[in-house]
Chain A
Amino acid sequence: MAEDQKSLGAGLAFLSLGASLLLYAYLTLEMGTARQMGPGYFPRFISLCLIVLGAAIIFASGPASRIDLRHWPLRQIGMVGVAILIFAIGLDRVGFLASAFAMAFVTAKARKETSLWQATVIALAITVFCTAVFRQGLGIPFQLY
């Protein structure tokens, strides 16, 4: 097991990003020559650099560090993420008011200590506020319902 887990993680992230971009560029983009560059020349250069950097980060790892998932706000990340998706999907189907309310409600509940009742009140207030700012204030033609 690597001592410096954060560097290992970051290195792997850059390495895999670089490798997948390189593969994608290789498959879809023409490289061209330095004199007449194709759309794939620069991306290939960038992805090679990412691969080299990723490897360098793994090898030059610093003091020991740990990635401890127990300290991650997984519930909050999941719920806020879902809330945004609810808004994105709901907007065209159930309109602005309902989807904004649902988004704010789910987001508010991402914090465990907030009760259902409190979340309802918070979500209502936010819906009213956002309708006032974006629809009335900025004149964005949202379909309200």
Chain B
Amino acid sequence: MEFFDHLAMGFGVALSPANIGYCFLGALLGTLVGVLPGLGPTATIAMLLPLTFSISPESALIMLAGIYYGAQYGGSTTAILVNLPGEASSAVTAIDGYQMARAGKAGTALSIAAIGSFVAGCIATFFVALCAPLLMTVARSFTPFEYFALIVLGLICSIALARGSILKSLGMVFAGLALGCVGTDVYTGDARFTFGSFSLSDGISIVALSVGLFGITEIFRNLEPGRNDGPPGTVKEIGRLYPTRAELRSASGPIFRGTMVGSLLGVLPGGGALLSSFASYTIEKKLSKTPERFGKGAIEGVAGPESANNAGAQTSFIPMLTLGIPSNAVMALMAGAMIIQGIVPGPRVMVTHPELFWGIIVSMWIGNAMLVVLNLPLVGLWVKLLKIPYAILFPAIVAFCVIGTYTVNNTTFDLYLLTMFAVLGYLFSRLDCEPAPLLLGFVLGPLLEENFRRALVLSRGDFSAFVTHPISAALLLAAVGLLIIMLLPQIRTRRETVFLED
């Protein structure tokens, strides 16, 4: 069986002592930073990205995947213990998780979250291993027309999940596309928007951009006057760590349903952890015989969304690895990291670097196993981390962000960019504009332009070719339809109530 050969190859890569070490290190560091209040997975990955550039591509991506799961799980820990979700996807966990913690059952909530994530991780790994090659065969038949349409759809979907006004999010996508144009034009070699600066000829550094927009901006927000600095209040007793048989039984249904929902939604462009956890929470509440317990510490409200967001996080690798099209901000960073490592994500990766491809897939599973091993015994350590005063924490985060950004290209120019994006990011956040669509636009911009130009060369300048290719027409139609639905005011108000969490 080819399938098992591939998995075996993956295990061979992922189980080498060095890669196990990097996977472990990634999961540990990811959790460590992800636990810190206010730092979600995107900020965590942006911050830790520079640490991975000095090692081989396989190890780097395995470590990054570890950082991702760690950050995700660390965010849930913070959400459960102190009700400070770092990113919207763990906001759902905070609803019931924090109530469980207040009732003295923090330990149970944490262990259910870990078990749910692990089960979801195992199943989603198989899902990825099965689906990715299928999607690859589809991807091979894609021409620039289909790629262009797919990227457009992905960008529109990313807006669907951003909070606030659709038009503002769309504006952020275009701002990102514009920033993506900076650098040398691949076809003619002309310098674009470089202001005569040689440092910009390779384009804007994705690390400077993302660390500024997500890392430092977040610090500015936390330092706003009138905000309590640092985690408020004390962490309650953790309580019993391992769940009882009855608790496990009531959690098992939500875990499996959450895994299914997450695996499917993760593949969609714009999908991933956030959409999955919201969907799973809604489903569990609908299915429950006692929906009134939700919001008051229902174990199903932790088990379902936690499994779903982990499964979704994992399957959102599929579009990035097979089509080269990241579906959310985190995957955009992953794609950026791959490009810095000299590997262009896309259908060729599986053929030219099979060991990398399968190594990452298997390491997802190993990373999840490590999280269980790491998190349950180390819960005490994470609780201590939450007690570090913000006065000490934020200078350390700033220093780490700055030095890390510098090390990527060894140029102080990136630090000026970093400062600029940090201030811009804060400005945008004050104007209620989300940074995630901008990052996605920035990463997908060059890809969009390349396929746009290639497509029009193929069609000899005829724009109607985008609609005469059936797949491309269907994808563009879906994008337009989605945009219209989002702009209908009626649905907009409903959407706002779904995202009312903060």
Contact = CB atoms under 8 A, between A and B. Distances in A.
Given A39-B192, A76-B223, A83-B398, A118 B168 contact: no
Contacts of B403: 87, 100, 130, 134
Interface string B368-411: 00000000000000000000001110111011101110110000
B216 A80 contact: yes
A98 interface: no
Contact of A114 (B181, B188, B391, B430): B391
A6 B19 CA distance: 48
Given A84-B419, A100-B399, A108 B178 contact: no
A85 to B, nearest CB: 6
A10 B432 contact: yes
A14 B177 CA distance: 12
B457 A81 contact: no
Interface string A74-113: 0011001101110111011000000010011001101101
A56, A88, A100: which has the most chain B beta carbons within 10 Å?
A88
For chain B, the bracket of interface size reads 35 or more
A10, A25, A33, A113: which has the most chain B beta carbons within 10 Å?
A10
B167 A103 contact: no
B418 A84 contact: yes
A83 B181 CA distance: 30
Interface string B165-201: 1011011001101100100010110101100000000
B457 A35 contact: yes
B284 to A, nearest CB: 33
B399 to A, nearest CB: 5
Contacts of A111: 223, 229, 390-391, 394
A107 B395 contact: yes
Contacts of B430: 6, 9, 67, 72
A116 interface: no
Contacts of B224: 71-73
Contacts of A40: 192
B426 interface: yes
A101 to B, nearest CB: 10
A140 B50 CA distance: 11
Interface in A1-43: 6-7, 9-10, 13-14, 17-18, 21, 24-25, 28-30, 33-43
A77 B406 CA distance: 20
Interface in B449-469: 449, 452-453, 456-457, 460-463
Given A111-B229, A138-B54, A84 B395 contact: no
A87 B174 contact: no
A47 B178 contact: yes
Contacts of B188: 30, 38-39
B220 interface: yes
A77 B426 contact: yes
Given A14-B175, A17-B178, A130-B399, A24 B422 contact: no
Given A37-B453, A42-B453, A67-B430, A87 B402 contact: yes
B419 A85 contact: yes
A30 B191 CA distance: 11
B193 A76 contact: no
B288 interface: no
A89 B170 CA distance: 36
B170, B220, B223, B431: which has the most chain A beta carbons within 10 Å?
B431
Nearest to B212: A84
Nearest to A108: B395
Contact of B181 (A30, A42, A76): A42
A34 B461 contact: yes
A35, A46, A113: which has the most chain B beta carbons within 10 Å?
A46
Contact of A71 (B225, B390, B457): B225
Contacts of B406: 87-88, 91
A46 B177 contact: yes
Contact of B415 (A42, A53, A77, A88): A88
A133 B225 CA distance: 32
Interface in B198-218: 216
Contacts of B431: 6-7, 9-10, 13, 67
Contacts of B192: 25, 28-29, 39-40, 43
B456 A35 contact: yes
Contacts of A110: 223
A107 B168 contact: no
A143 B20 CA distance: 32
Contact of A80 (B220, B226, B462): B220
Contacts of B499: none
A144 interface: no
A113 B225 CA distance: 12
Nearest to A76: B223
Contact of B178 (A21, A87, A126): A21
B219 interface: yes
B216 A57 contact: no
Interface string B143-173: 0000000000000000000000101101100
Contacts of A17: 175, 178
Contact of A10 (B171, B390, B394): B171
Interface of B: 51, 54, 165, 167-168, 170-171, 174-175, 177-178, 181, 185, 187-188, 190, 192-193, 216, 219-220, 223-226, 229, 390-392, 394-396, 398-400, 402-404, 406-407, 412, 415-416, 418-419, 422-423, 426-428, 430-433, 449, 452-453, 456-457, 460-463
Top 10 closest A-B pairs, CB basis?
Answer: A35-B461, A39-B185, A88-B415, A34-B461, A76-B223, A107-B395, A88-B412, A10-B431, A108-B395, A14-B171
Given A34-B462, A35-B461, 5 more contacts: A21-B193, A35-B460, A88-B406, A111-B390, A130-B400
